[in-house]
Structure 1
Amino acid sequence: MSSSYTEFAHIYDELMNDIPYDAYIELLDLASAGVSGKKVLDIGCGTGLLSAMLAKRGAYVTGVDLSCDMLEVAAHRAGSLGLAIQFKEQPMQQLDVEGKFDAAVISIDSLNYVISQKDVEETFNRVYQALVKDGVLLFDVHSLYKMDEIFLEGPFVYDNGGIAYIWETSPGDHEHSVYSELAFFMRQENGSFIRFDEVHMQRSFSIPDYVRMIEEAGFHIERIFADWEDEPPTEESERIFFQVRK
């Protein structure tokens, strides 16, 4: 994954329009017996969409992301909405926050950008240390079916008139990983387009591997479900959710 999202950060929100963030809020609200008044870690917060929604619900939010450009957009969003959200620039496997939190969320496959299994394990360890006793962690990852089959059906194209991209994919260097090259085209006021390119790498692990890593960190698993539904994963599920507790 590129370390800078300078251009990408400004169109990220539009590209994420189809993500049901409201459903994520409801999932976290249910898992933590309400978010109002709770201290919540939004890990891999990006441009702060979910952070802002949580803060509007009365949560005390700290957003963490490795991209200073994403965080700049997130801080501007929070300021324009009058929301007191703290943002910290750090990789999730180096999570270092003050105090203890009631809940943590790693949403929209952000964890899949952590490639090394050791770093995934360290992420779980650090989140565990950041939570209060009985604190909840909610996260989702791409299924192996999505990584190994769906993503490799590319290239994929998108065009809404103002933003277009060509997304080419190939197997990554690690098992169940995908290397992506994206060429973005942004329409300017004069009708011309500017282009910028992004390179991304994502990796996923099997459900049993995640279970082992979660339990080794000290969490106990409350439920595993798929594709925004309260149903167990199947062979063709695409997004796997984990709700775990300290």
Structure 2
Amino acid sequence: MNYEQFAYLYDHLMKDAPYDDWLTFTETKLQTYLPEGNELLDVGCGTGELLIRLTKKGYQTTGVDLSSEMLVVARDKLEANNLQVPLFEQDMRSLDGLGQFDAILTYCDSLNYLTSIEDVQVAFSSFHKSLKDKGLLILDVHSCYKMDQIFAGQLFADDEEEVSYIWKAFEGEFPHSIEHDLTFFVRNEDETYTRYEEFHQQRTYSIDEYKQCLEDAGFSVEEISADFGNKVTETSERIFFVARKK
């Protein structure tokens, strides 16, 4: 699958993603905890949807993603919007050489692709090094409830004329882990369909485990909330952390 096809499928799958909610959440937390913060690093920036929104708001942004294909698409989107944003292909566990930022953002469950708590710890230490003194780390992750009760054993499907998909979610081998098996059917110009397959693994951890990793990496946890600013409950699906570099 070439990058144009993959990005098209990714953006189709993410067409209802709450990018505007992430933007509002980010601006609210920056105004609350770091009103002068303007230099932002988006880790796991994907095809650049949030980067475009942040840059249009006047923030000085930089994007990082592990996928070179995603970054090519993000660059094309930025250029189409007449925006210039530095983009880097790097692992979130090693952000050396990028400089330091006022705030680091990592949303859309990017951290859930780290399948060991040791890797989470390494990533948090990497973020700490890449932040200015008193800088902010703002992130979200899937809750244990979402992984265990909503994803596990579920089948999701979407049947549209141009793109259809079947998304199967299986319980993984580790606690609170999921294996995603996605099959796409993309319509060709001759009205035949081409099949593409994607496989993803994700894992999450308890709020206490994330909090401990943040503190061990040198952060003070300023706020924990759920689902874009709500109180955490047993059925919360997305957990947000705001942490400050000590």
**1:104 aligned residue:** 104
TM-score (normalizing by structure 2): 0.93
After superposition, residues 35-114 of structure 1 pair within 5 angstroms as: 38-114=38-114
| Residues 1:131 and 2:112 aligned together | no
Taking structure 1 as reference, are residues 6 and 113 closer, same or farther at Cα in structure 2, changes over 3 Å only?
farther
The within-5 A match list for 1:223-238 is 223-228=223-228, 230-238=229-237
Give the equivalent residue in structure 2 for 1:244: 243
Paired residue secondary structure (2:8): helix
State how far apart, in whole Å, the 1-side matches of 2:153 and 2:235 are.
15
**Equivalent pair of 2:168/2:182 in contact (CA under 8 Å):** yes
1:188 Cα offset (Å): 1.9
Tell me what 1:144 maps to: 144
User: Using a 3 Å threshold, how does the CA distance of structure 1 residues 151 and 95 change in structure 2: closer, same or farther?
Assistant: same
State the AA in 2 paired with 1:134: K
- SS of the residue 1:243 aligns to: strand
- Show CA shifts across 1:48-91 (max 9, x none): 11111111111111111111111110011111111110111111
Amino acid corresponding to residue 119 of structure 1 in structure 2: D
User: How far off its partner does 1:7 sit?
Assistant: 3.0
Question: Is the 8 Å Cα contact of residues 35 and 57 (structure 1) preserved in structure 2?
Answer: no
CA RMSD, 1 decimal: 1.9
Partner of 2:7: 9
The alpha-carbon deviation at position 10 of structure 1 amounts to 2.0
Between 189-198 and 141-150, the greater mean CA deviation after superposition: 189-198
Contact 1:78 1:85 in 2 (8 A): yes
Aligned counterpart, 1:117: 117
Deviation of 1:35 after TM superposition, in Å, equals 8.0
Deviations 1:85-137 (A, max 9, x none): 01111111122243210111101111101112111111111111111112111
Contact 1:46 1:70 in 2 (8 A): yes
CA distance in 2, matches of 1:183, 1:54: 32
Percent of pairs identical after alignment? 43
SS in 1 for 2:179: strand
Q: Which moved more, 1:68-77 or 1:26-35?
A: 26-35
- The answer to which of 168-177 and 143-152 deviates more is 168-177
1:183-222 residue pairs with structure 2 within 5 A? 183-222=183-222
Q: What residue identity is the alignment partner of 1:245?
A: R
Matched pairs, number = 243
Unmatched runs of 5 consecutive residues or more in structure 1: none
Deviates more, 1:135-144 or 1:90-99: 90-99
Matched to 1:164, the amino acid is: S
What is the rounded CA distance, in whole Å, between the counterparts of 1:186 and 1:93 in structure 2? 34
Task: Quote how far apart the aligned CAs of 1:187 are.
Answer: 1.5
Residue ranges of structure 2 left out of the alignment (5+ in a row): none
Is the Cα contact below 8 Å between 1:28 and 1:35 reproduced in 2?
no
Contact 1:7–1:196 (CA under 8 A) maintained in structure 2: no
Instruction: Give the CA deviation at 1:6.
Output: 6.2
Q: Deviations over 1:145-200 (max 9, x none)?
A: 11111111412111232211111121212111111111011112332211100000
Relative to structure 1, is the Cα distance of residues 72 and 35 closer, same or farther in structure 2, using a 3 angstrom cutoff? farther
